[in-house]
Amino acid sequence: MNPPQTLTTLLQFNVELAPWMLWALFGLFLFGYGILSCILFYHWIVYGMKSKGILVAQFIFPLGSAFLIYMAFFTIRSF
């Protein structure tokens, strides 16, 4: 377990950051992201009418999301 680190700003406002805080933030963010993604997919499947643009979105969106989530996961692990 890494020791808590200190984030100091110019205002000398100290915040002790423990890794679990970032994991909690990440988890909360992913929860919201997951819900919004489900809403988007619902719209694409129900209202999309198999439009070309919607099919492209269904392909690109998960790929980009997976890459960025992996990047976030990787950076939080190195904290």
Partner 1 sequence: MLYLDPEEHVILEVRKHWFVFFSQAFFYVFAAVAPLFLYAGISKLLPAMVPYVSSVGGLPLFLYCLWLLLVWISFFVQWTKYYLQVWYVTEKRIIDVDQKGLFNRTVSNLRFDKIQDITVEVRGFVSTLLNIGDIKVQTAAEDSGDFSMRMASQPDKVRSFIFSQHNTASEKFIPQKHVIDADEQIKTNATNKEKPEDI
Query: How near is the Cβ of 30 to partner 1 at its closest, in Å?
Result: 9
Query: How near is the Cβ of 20 to partner 1 at its closest, in Å?
Result: 14
What residue ranges bind partner 1 (CB under 8 A)?
A: 5-10, 17, 22, 25-26, 29, 33, 36-37, 39-40, 43-44, 46-49, 51, 53-54, 57, 61, 64-65, 68-69, 71-72, 75-76, 78-79
How far apart CA 23 and CA 1 sit, in angstroms, is 13
**6 CB-near residues (< 8 Å, 6+ apart):** 14, 15, 16, 17
